[in-house]
Amino acid sequence: MNYRTMIKIILAVVALGAASIFYTDQEVVQSPEKEQVILQSVMLAMSQAHLQPIEINDDFSAKIFDEFLEVVDGRKRFLVKEDIAQLESYRYELDDNLKVLDLSFLDKVMEIIDGKIAKTKSFYTEILAEPFDFSNSELIEIDFEKLDFEEDEAALRARWEERLKYYTLQELEEKVKAQKTVKDEEPKSEEELEKEAREEIATAYEKWYENYEKLRRSDRFEQFLNVITRQYDPHSAYFSPKGKQDFNMRMGGKLEGIGAQLLTVGELTQVVSIVPGGPVWKDERLEVNDFILKVAQDGEQAVDITGMRIDDVVTLIRGPKGTNVTLTIQKKDESQVDIEIERDVINLEIARARAAMLETEDSDINYGYIDLPMFYNSFDGPEGNSSAKDVASFIDSLKSEGMDGLILDLRDNLGGALVDAIDISGLFIEQGPVVQVKSKDRRPYIHKDDNSSVIYDGPLIVLVNNFSASASEIVAGALQDYGRAVIVGSQTFGKGSVQNFIDLDRAIRGNADVKPLGEIKLTIQKYYRVNGESTQLRGVLPDITLPDSYDFLPTGERENESALAWSRIQEVEYGQDVLTYDNKEELKEKSAMRIQGSEEFAAITEYATWLKDNKDNTMYPLDLNKYMERVDELKAKADQYGEIFDKPIPGLKIRPVKMDFESEITQEAKDARAEAWQEGVSQDIYISEATSIVDDIVKSASYANLQKKIKE
């Protein structure tokens, strides 16, 4: 599959207690006094330091009530309505309880959920002791958000039976297909395979309960705190001391594992970030927002990680370089796939910017292309790594080779160093403001490009998509406001907020007997474009929109109910006298005509529609033959979509621009990545359309008149 299509890179660390595959194993024991000090500190910080404090009232209480129950039993496998009724008195009292540091709601929830976990432990052994009948017309709802809590324990047990039947069916389907590929062995009967599947599910659940029972009060307490912080915005979060230690380790640069940052969402483990340069990033099959359902060591039975503590999940996934781990993944379309990944050392060097000169058979124009997967900066002075420095160097090289137009690719780039975003914007404009940053009750601070020189003054296309965020949106927004570039692609992510850490040990005087307390990652500012509009929530709307497979699925900041609202402040004075595009409507119309006649883009739109319909279609058959047909249909559609990006663009020639820099990566590894990158570029229809837009600009009458005027 295409190099770029499956890569989803999020550099900003997502909040809500996010954890990566590099967690430390450390027992945590907290006293009631310590919990009260932490709770008081969190509530105080949120009310006084958050960008937009909210009112602590009954509505706030009800949201915490519902969301915490979703966190502890999102799959509705333990609690029944009788249990909810026992807790109902807290629904509108939590706001008052929090003000007096009363954690009795947490105590009661833990008492009930722990008891129900113990009681349901007998369900799976009893149910899996008997064969299932996979020949009837039953259907199961696999989207837990569409389910309600069951009325009583009898109904709950029936749900367990239905769910275990579905999991056994999944295992059976894999065994039936695997058997068809094995030769020279006596085939097993369906009954024998079904028995094996049940036994494997029983073993998996035994391990699952062992891990589930390891959940500590400190884990539940942190979950409760992050339900509170999540009411303010999705990126504010409490970090325990060990959680902050893990965060610091992730930002260190060189890590060992698979290169994914994980987050507990309810009972599920979600991929929230893919580390550039890691095994997952290179593999391309695992995507941001995928859920990890099971983890299997090389040659061992998979372990169901639903409801498992995040650091236990991390322990399962983590491992030495060169070993393999298999992850069972639930994709956006609800389909499941097993992905085997070889663990490795993560080196961010291989995620540095790359560049090439592109040519097409039907045009004599030279297209410069720069792929920037992240805004990096080692902050080591002139000798250190900097994405702005690399981009400038590439532009000089491309200009020396006769570049007629430049394509800057910011797709899947969700941020990084702000200073590099400002410097890269400044490569294309004269001296002036790039972005405004506003804190609560303060005047905006204006970040400016102080360099009056313009390194490139020709046609500029900026490619963006749903996963271009933060620093990417700053660059795209600034160049769009100045009229300096044509922004092409999809609406961007919409993360326009700034977070900072508050060390509670420093913020809270005294209380030495209960420290360390941890830290809070707090949203304190918003980014605003020079035209006064926030990038928050709305992101950047492209000048020319191209079809995308996620067009009809919820993506970006807009998915989060607690996301900060879009807003506007006073614009600042800005302008440039480098190059503007007086014919954007004409460019848009020509692109639309090409898209309309493109089989590839038509297939992308068709697939986007299918993804939406399939996501909504969450009823699965419990009949083996019908289930196998459904799985085959999902795989065939995904393979069909993948074929769009497996074909080289006819007539597209690529001349990579080489840049030497010191690296620990072997030459063989660098060559392999360069080859894979070049292959991806050669198959990318979005890059192909960008070259056509550059053609339209260069060959337009307005550009010809401008060039004539410059020569005169």
Q: Is the pLDDT of residue 25 over 60?
A: no
Q: Is the pLDDT of residue 656 over 90?
A: yes
Q: 111-120, 189-198, 345-354, 524-533 — which is least confidently predicted? A: 345-354
| Under 8 Å between Cβ of 386 and 416 | no
Give percent of the chain with pLDDT exceeding 70.
87
Residue 238 backbone phi and psi in degrees, to 5: -95, 135
Question: Average of pLDDT values for 471-493?
Answer: 97
Helix residue ranges per DSSP H, 302-438: 310-317, 387-400, 418-426
- Looking at every residue in the chain, the average pLDDT score rounds to 85
pLDDT, residue 534, reads: 97
Quick one: pLDDT at residue 467?
87
Give burial (CB, 10 Å; 0-12/13-18/19+) of 443.
exposed
Q: Is the pLDDT of residue 288 over 80?
A: no
**83-92, 204-213, 390-399: least confidently modelled range:** 204-213
Which residues lie across from 150 on neighbouring strands? 80
Q: What is the pLDDT of residue 330?
A: 81
Sorting pLDDT into bands at 50, 70 and 90, what band is 95?
very high
Angle of helix 104-127 versus helix 153-181 axis, rounded to 10:
50
Alpha helices in 182-262 (DSSP H): 190-212, 217-230, 241-250
Domains along the sequence of the chain with CATH: 55-230 (no CATH), 348-496+527-584+649-711 (3.90.226.10)
CB 183 within 8 A of CB 153: no
Percentage of the chain with pLDDT > 90? 56
Predicted confidence band of residue 252 (pLDDT cuts 50, 70, 90)? very low
Q: What is the pLDDT of residues 547-577, one digit of tens each?
A: 998 888 878 898 889 999 999 999 999 999 9
Question: For residues 255 and 114, which has the higher predicted lDDT (pLDDT)?
Answer: 114
Residue 243 has a pLDDT of 61
pLDDT tier, 11 (very low <50, low <70, confident <90, very high otherwise): very low
Task: Say yes or no to pLDDT of 711 above 60.
Answer: no
Considering only residues 521 and 283, tell me which one the structure prediction assigns the higher pLDDT: 521
What 151-158 contacts at long range (C-beta under 8 Å, 24+ apart), as own/partner pairs, is 151/80, 151/81, 151/82, 152/80, 152/81, 152/82, 153/80, 153/119, 155/80, 156/77, 156/78, 156/80, 156/120, 157/123, 157/127
Contact 265, 273 (CB under 8 A): no
Q: Which residues contact 154 (CB under 8 A, 6 or more apart)?
A: none
The mean per-residue pLDDT over the stretch 3-25 comes to: 27
- For residue 8, the model assigns a pLDDT of 27
For residue range 298-348, list pLDDT tens digits in order.
767 777 777 666 666 776 787 777 888 888 888 766 667 888 888 876 666
Mean pLDDT, residues 516-522 taken together: 91
Q: What is the mean pLDDT of residues 419-428?
A: 97
Q: What is the pLDDT of residues 372-398, one digit of tens each?
A: 988 988 787 777 789 999 999 999 999
Say how many CA atoms lie within 13 Å of 292 toward its Cβ. Answer: 32
> What is the spatial distance between Cα 354 and Cα 370, in angstroms, rounded to a whole number?
6
Residue 141 has a pLDDT of 92
Local confidence band at 10 (pLDDT 50, 70, 90 cut-offs): very low
- Distance between CA atoms of residues 39 and 59, nearest Å: 19
Does residue 196 surpass a pLDDT of 80?
A: yes
pLDDT of residue 661: 60
Residue 645, pLDDT > 60, answer yes
| Predicted pLDDT at 290 | 83
pLDDT, tens digit (0-9, with 9 covering 90-100), for 670-706: 777 788 889 989 999 999 999 999 999 999 877 777 6
